[in-house]
Amino acid sequence: MSDLTYSGVVSWTLFRRALRKSAGKRWLALFVFPVLMTAYAVWSRPYAPLRLYFLCFTLASLYVPMMLILQLWKWRRRFARSPYLREPLSGVVSPEIFIARGSTGTTEMPWSRFVKIKDAGDFILLYPSPYQFNILSREFFASEEQWQAARGFALKRDRIRAS
């Protein structure tokens, strides 16, 4: 099993999951904001009533879900406005090279050229640069055996840490 072909369409669900995997745990930084705002309130008004601090913390805590909702809205908008994301893609995966074909062109890259690979179990993010990635999903392959073989090709590179 040397060359494996794949084809499929990136769905909204797959796109959202890929962006979440790409973002990693950076969203946890949002939880620092309520603490910093409350600390600032205590520092700037040391003798204010306690309910003012609770109000400040509560209002600042609303920032977290609002930012998460805004991020999801931006992702949805990016997906809706990018017609090439919803178009069929196909390609070939071999032990030496990754090939992706879409309506905008063909990408051929040896595995050694990817700067980072993130494994999510049922999809893999292949990064040709620090902030751009290709999605390789289990649903693009005809069988589970093909998916496991393709996943093995991507993850067996010793110099790349799969996360």
Q: What is the pLDDT of residues 33-67, one digit of tens each?
A: 777 777 777 777 777 787 877 787 788 888 888 88
pLDDT at 21: 92
> Cα(91)–Cα(98) distance, rounded to whole angstroms?
8
pLDDT at 77: 94
Q: Which two tokens stand for residue 124?
A: 């893999």
Which fold would CATH assign to domain 4-11+18-23+84-155?
Answer: PH-domain like (2.30.29)
> Cα(2)–Cα(92) distance, rounded to whole angstroms?
10
Half-sphere exposure of 159 (CA within 13 A, CB side): 5
Report pTM.
0.78
pLDDT at 38: 77
| pLDDT surpassing 60 at residue 159 | no
Q: Which two tokens stand for residue 33?
A: 């904001």
Q: Residues 110-126, buried b or exposed e (16+ Cβ, 10 A)?
A: ebeebebbbebeebbbb
Confidence of residue 26 (pLDDT cuts 50, 70, 90): confident
> Cα(68)–Cα(156) distance, rounded to whole angstroms?
34
Q: Containing H/E element for 69?
A: helix 63-81
| pLDDT surpassing 90 at residue 158 | no
pLDDT at 131: 86
* Amino acid type, 85: L
